[in-house]
Amino acid sequence: MTLYLTQDEVRSVLDMKSTLEAVESGFREMGLGNIEMPARVYLHFDKGVLIAMPAYIKPLNAAGLKVVTVHPENPAKHNLPAVIARIILNDPDKGEPLAIMDGTYITALRTGAAGGVGIKYLSRKDSKTAGIIGLGVQGRSQLLGLMEVRDVEEVKVFDVIPAAKKKYVEEMSKEVSVDIKAVDSVADAARNSDIVITCTPSTKPFLKGEMLEAGVHVSAIGADVSAKRELNTSVLTRADKLVVDFKAQAFVVGDFAVPLKEGTVKEEDVYAELGEIVAGKKKGRTSDDEITLFKATGLAIQDVGTAYKVYQLAQERGIGIEI
Active site residues: 66
- Distance, in Å, from the CA atom of 153 to the CA atom of 127, rounded to the nearest integer, reads 9
Q: Are 226 and 253 in contact (CB under 8 A)?
A: yes
Show the beta-strand stretches assigned E in the chain: 3-5, 35-36, 41-44, 49-57, 62-70, 83-90, 97-102, 129-133, 154-158, 179-182, 195-198, 217-220, 241-244, 272-273, 292-295, 321-322
- Distance, in Å, from the CA atom of 131 to the CA atom of 200, rounded to the nearest integer, reads 13
End-to-end CA distance of the chain: 6
Report CA torsion sign: 64, 18, 299, 66: positive
- Distance, in Å, from the CA atom of 294 to the CA atom of 242, rounded to the nearest integer, reads 6
- Distance, in Å, from the CA atom of 289 to the CA atom of 285, rounded to the nearest integer, reads 9
Q: Are 296 and 247 in contact (CB under 8 A)?
A: no
Cβ count near 304 (within 10 Å)? 31
